[in-house]
Amino acid sequence: MKAANPRGTAPGTPPRTRILIVGGGYVGMYTAIRLQRKLRADEAEVTVLTPEPYMTYQPFLPEAAAGSISPRHVVVPLRRVLKGCRIVIGQAHHIDHAKRTVTLTTLASEDEGAGPVELAYDELVLAPGSVSRTLPVPGLADYAIGFKTVEEAIGLRNHVIEQMDIASSTRDPGLRDAALTFVFVGGGYAGVEALAELEDMARYAARYYHNIKPEDMKWVLVEASDRILPEVGPEMGVYTVRELRRRNIDVRLETRLDSCENRVAVLSDGARFPTRTVVWTAGVKPHPVLAASDLPRNERGRLACTAFLTVEGVEHAFAAGDAAAVPDITAAEGTTGPGLECAPNAQHAVRQAKVLADNLIASLRGEVLTEYAHKYVGSVASLGLHKGVAHIYGRKIKGYPAWFMHRAYHLSRIPTFNRKMRVLAEWTLSGLFKREIVSLGSLEHPRAEFELAAGGGHKAHPPHPAPDPPKDSQG
């Protein structure tokens, strides 16, 4: 491996401190923004290592999937907002903090044939985020769809509309039933909001199909625990279940997905649903790069951190967000008892990034570090157009007010004025005009038509990994 170690200084001048931020999500981007704003030009150089050249504002993924927001407007281009930083598009594979190096590959690594490279640093900020937590469910890897990236959200939207097209054109009642059955696994924010928004969109789209009615579609939510949306409290969780069931959505609590082989979702309560759509949103786990490092982790694989957002027992290493187990000192001071950690959500991540950046600068300048303390104010969730639930400062809100609060809060949180105005404009236009119900699944295979014209065969849609499902009915 060859070392990549540019210092960017003129001969005879003291080298600048090399700050490496691993991850370009909430924590990575906001930390870099604050560092480039507060650091002197001769004080340090900031490098952001990220697999994607943009930050995804994940709370807007359900609305992007439903077509309320353009996918371009739920992402923030890092090169535009981080003009004072060096952006490296690549994947970190190993961190040797003892040597202060990160082993990575870039988009050019395969073509260069040189293999991974090492990037040296002086100060490390670990914010790689999380990845989907999967279980060894038969058929899951072959058939399920995730809901964590903008690509997955738009792919799911295209997939749902495509299934409606299949159901409208087939003469096979078994295929039609499977195409119109949508199973979502996981009753947290991602699962509930994605299901609610897509069901809303599909119900609207059904009016444009001559042979599909909203009641022909089956929407199933599977949750292993005894409630959904635990963040909004038990009462609002019960209300959400009641609201979803009122819309003929089959909510199954204390139920697990046992298998989805051969395009049949088999649940732990014995129910069987022939389906061509299984959406997996059953939690996340820390990014694999944490396990490939010499930094301390807790029993759940997250980095052991202090309230100062430093990695416990390690110098020159900071962390926050999904990857970090940060003690919640506001909870420790209350009646809930010590030992609690900050929830891995955007509300904490954005605030942690500010404290992390300030503490990193204070560390460089030999100043006193500040503890991170933020009392959780509550949560909001959308259940489709004009529907929502919220639990804010102890107040329980539902229906249109909660939905409006959801939009207002996230509009204020999405980075850059440019993105705020674009999202607001799209919401305004969607209120004045009809929804878009077009599937652009062919975008996933842009060369298909040219390959067909050139005689190479149609490669737009690879063969389905299994034949059409058997005509099972619900058990």
- Alpha helix (H) residue ranges in 326-399: 329-332, 346-364
Question: What is the chain's length?
Answer: 475
Q: Say yes or no to pLDDT of 336 above 70.
A: no
Cβ pair 241, 223 in contact under 8 A = no
Tokens of residue 96, six digits: 């040797």
Q: How far is CA 177 from CA 40, 260, 263, 269, in A?
A: 63, 16, 12, 21
Q: Where are any strands of DSSP class E within 282-345?
A: 284-286, 303-304, 317-319, 324-325
Name the burial class of residue 124, with classes exposed (0-12), middle (13-18) and buried (19+) by CB atoms within 10 angstroms of its CB. Answer: buried
Tokens of residue 456, six digits: 């190479």
**Token pair 């005009």: residue:** 433
The pLDDT value recorded for residue 15 is 81
The pTM score is 0.85
Nearest to 336 by CA among 276, 364, 376, 369: 376
CA quadruple 24, 55, 135, 237: dihedral sign: positive
The pLDDT value recorded for residue 13 is 63
Q: Tell me the average pLDDT of the chain.
A: 87
Q: Say yes or no to pLDDT of 468 above 70.
A: no
Q: Where are any strands of DSSP class E within 287-394?
A: 303-304, 317-319, 324-325, 378-382, 388-392
Greater pLDDT, 3 or 436: 436
The pLDDT value recorded for residue 475 is 33
Greater pLDDT, 447 or 356: 356
In whole angstroms, what separates CA 139 from the centre of its chain?
23
Nearest to 3 by CA among 95, 87, 116: 116
The pLDDT value recorded for residue 324 is 94
Q: How crowded is residue 259: how many other Cβ atoms within 10 Å of its Cβ? A: 15
Q: Which of 5-9, 228-232, 240-244, 280-284 has the lowest mean pLDDT?
A: 5-9
- What is the rounded average pLDDT of the residues 434-439? 73
Q: Say yes or no to pLDDT of 25 above 80.
A: yes
The pLDDT value recorded for residue 461 is 52
- What is the rounded average pLDDT of the residues 252-263? 95
pLDDT band at 67 (very low <50, low <70, confident <90, very high): confident
Cβ pair 55, 24 in contact under 8 A = yes
